Structure 1
Amino acid sequence: MSRGLKPTILSISLITVMSGAAVAPALGEIGRAFPQADETLIKLVLTLASVMIIPFNFISGRICDRWGKRRTLLLGLAVYLVGGMGGGLASSIWTLLGTRVVLGMGVGLIMPISTALVGDFYEGEERIRTMGQLSASSNLGGIVAMVLSGWLASLSWRYSFGVYGFALGTGLLVFFLLPEPKSDGRPGGGFKNLPLAVYLNGAAVLLLMLVFYSIPTNMALFLQANHIGEARLSGMVIALITASGFVAGLVLSRVHGLVGRWMVTAMLACMAGGFWLLSAAASLAPVVAGVVLIGFSYGSLFPLILVSITGAVPRHRTVLAMAVASSCLFLGQFISPLVLDGLGAIMGTASPRQSFHLCALGITAAMVAAFVISFRTPAQSNPE
């Protein structure tokens, strides 16, 4: 196994998970550039890619059966570059949204392969460790993308789309350093034979992303509406959530060993606390504390779900299983502003602060449920 293999796999994750949110710091500037578009339409700049990611996740598996994972990755990276950087050339909100659709096609081809490669090349404890590093890598990409995007947005919202150029470096690594994974020759197959665990974990991913994505879709607007900061500051604040997620991925194995069966409950409590802080924030300090708590908990929960999925299916079905998980992830991204804004409108107080309040309530309820389940589960039944 070559030394460049793991950095190549991690670089793929670096550009995928936060791909939609990479230009979140520019959202306020984009709104001012297209004043005829309402707030929900502007938020679709971050989430519309998810519409195409979902079907292309499953198309990716079909292409992998014919072309192999390496060539499918290279195709996806090319589409990603066109859609991502093309947004900076848009002359209307509809053209901009069109480039986000193309971006979603590229991410859809890449995403299930990026996590399936961990199952292809690593086993046992090394798989758990690598999945944590994969999560850390995606958050590192978010840190760089958010800070750089926020700075570029202060010059022009168009420049912020330059962050998608990182995919060029990833493409070179894949071309020169990634071997084609060994295959047993069997196609990925259909959905009917996937274990129930895949779908249950997929539902957990969807709900987790629904609340998590309230941060990039609302933060710039929240800071501006409450006179806490502008686009550049929102980039730094959102980068904190990915920084804490990066740390969580690095220490995942150690923390899981210490907390054991209470891991899910503890991380949900951490996330709930973060959202309660945001829902009451009137200054920068509680905003910072809130996003750090949310980022750390998300960075711990998400890779554990992926490890559970890879352990539930044989190797030839990992791309399909990961397609289910990543589809749920991006479906959660897409519906996040629609669900939270819709619930807020029903309650008569639609606003970024109300979205954070709704997330706090939902995560608190999930924490109580997780506590009851963990309390009734014998300690020895949990994996170390």
Structure 2
Amino acid sequence: MNKMKTRIGVVSMATLAMSGGIAGSAIAAIAKSFPNTPISTIQLLTTLPGLGSLLITLIAGRMAMNISKKKLVLLGVALVTLGGVIPAFWNGSIIGLLACSLVLGMGVGFISTINPMLLTEYFEGEDRSSMMGINNGMTSLGTTILTAAGGFLGAKNWHNLYWVYAFGLVVFLLVLFLLPNDKPVAANTKTGEKESTWQILKSLNSNIIWIYLAVFILGVAYTAYMANLSIIISAKNLGGTAVTGMISAVGNFVGIFAGLGFKYVRKVTKPNTLAAGFMFLLITLALTYFSSNVIVLGIASAFAAITMVTVMPTATFMLSMLSEPKQIPAVMSVFAFINGLSSAIAPKLIGWLHVPAGAPSFVFAGALALVVVVLLLVTGFEKKVESGNLLQAEAK
């Protein structure tokens, strides 16, 4: 029973992990309420949560060494709830709305950084891997339900969209009563002195850098797909925003079940699950690039969702296998930062490389995914991680 309570407590917070972008569906309506405000400023309501989250990932790991992770999660959920609900009744100032978006994002930053630490702390082996998959499934489920509920509430008045964040109260209570109380374990040296974050990072297994690199590449390639999907659909004369939204919704829906059934996916793909995830992304890009059929594009979107719920839990699982318990907060904090950073800078990075929008960006993303697949399969990296060989090699 205690184990089940812990499972519920951990995955409940995952439902808020992607809640920062929910207000995006109301941008047009909000812009009408602030006619003298540039649309670029209004659009910050969808990007500021990402910035707030990114800033918190830089400090959350260090805080988790000295403060209970449960308390940090409760703080994160509280920030999401307050930053989300306040605009429902205090919405006459665009500056106020932007400030609330930043606070909301900071809450998301605590949740997304601490969540994988708790999964690593409370679960072992394949149970940990399975829970990481379920966690991603719950993230997709939460995003889908909250986005739909927000659209319904805000149909007549965009102010009401923000009431959807009241769901945070439910999550807060679930975490408060179901998640076990933990004691922070400060990282100590043999002399008993506290190590700095930099000292901890320097002591990490060097192979962790390859997982970070894979996560960064995934962020760039996946963002290239999402950012250029509507351009591809328009270029093929398949429709506009509605069609793009429908195709994306198919992916979100499939992502829920793919995450919840991740342990079955892993049974088929192990020990090349990470490579399989990038292969799924390659399939997504190929189908979208070559096909002009909406149904096929929906299938491609499903593969995109499977990519995320395959690669992300596998990456965190492998990171936990290459880390000592005292290193987990720092490792997961860097993981969350790289994940957020890659998505944030992907459009600029692709632009710096002079890759045109639309189909060329798909080719670029496909090339990145293919390189990762080949390298993982040729080197047998995943098999070496799971067998413990890389830990032994590092020790020598």
Structure 1-normalised TM-score? 0.82
- Aligned length in residues: 375
The offset of 1:172, in angstroms, is 0.5
Gap change, CA 1:374 and 1:216, over 3 Å in 2: closer
The offset of 1:134, in angstroms, is 1.1
Equivalent-residue separation in structure 2 for 1:358 and 1:42 (angstroms)? 27
SS in 1 for 2:270: helix
Is residue 131 of structure 2 the alignment partner of residue 130 of structure 1? yes
User: Where does 1:189-338 land on structure 2 (aligned, <5 Å)?
Assistant: 189-190=196-197, 191-213=201-223, 228=239, 230=241, 236-279=246-289, 284-338=294-348
**Deviation string, structure 1 residues 295-324 (Cα, Å, up to 9, x no partner):** 111111111001011122222322221111
CA contact (8 A) 1:260 1:382 kept: no
Paired amino acid for 1:358: S
The answer to which of 82-91 and 161-170 deviates more is 82-91
Give the unaligned 5+ runs of structure 1: none
Match of 1:358 in 2: 361
Paired amino acid for 2:161: S
Match of 1:78 in 2: 78
The offset of 1:43, in angstroms, is 5.0
Equivalent-residue separation in structure 1 for 2:383 and 2:240 (angstroms)? 48
Gap change, CA 1:137 and 1:374, over 3 Å in 2: same
Paired amino acid for 1:207: I
Structure 2-normalised TM-score? 0.80
Residue 367 (structure 1) aligned to one of 367, 370, 376: 370
The answer to which of 270-279 and 113-122 deviates more is 270-279
Match of 2:148 in 1: 147
Gap change, CA 1:8 and 1:102, over 3 Å in 2: same
The answer to which of 362-371 and 109-118 deviates more is 362-371
CA contact (8 A) 1:245 1:300 kept: no
**Deviation string, structure 1 residues 80-110 (Cα, Å, up to 9, x no partner):** 1122234555446554333221112212222
The offset of 1:208, in angstroms, is 1.8
Gap change, CA 1:106 and 1:377, over 3 Å in 2: closer
Paired amino acid for 2:366: I
**Deviation string, structure 1 residues 174-204 (Cα, Å, up to 9, x no partner):** 1112222255554684132233334432332
Match of 1:68 in 2: 68
**Deviation string, structure 1 residues 340-381 (Cα, Å, up to 9, x no partner):** 5x459x56x65xxx2x65144323332244225414539975
Match of 2:21 in 1: 21
Match of 1:51 in 2: 51
Paired amino acid for 1:307: F
Q: Identity over the aligned pairs, expressed in percent? A: 24
Paired amino acid for 1:169: V
User: What is the RMSD of the two structures over their aligned residues, measured on CA atoms?
Assistant: 3.5
The answer to which of 152-161 and 299-308 deviates more is 152-161
User: Where does 1:4-43 land on structure 2 (aligned, <5 Å)?
Assistant: 4-16=5-17, 18-27=18-27, 29-30=29-30
Larger radius of gyration: 2
Equivalent-residue separation in structure 2 for 1:172 and 1:378 (angstroms)? 41
SS in 1 for 2:207: helix
The offset of 1:156, in angstroms, is 3.9
Give the unaligned 5+ runs of structure 2: 189-194, 388-396
The offset of 1:152, in angstroms, is 4.0
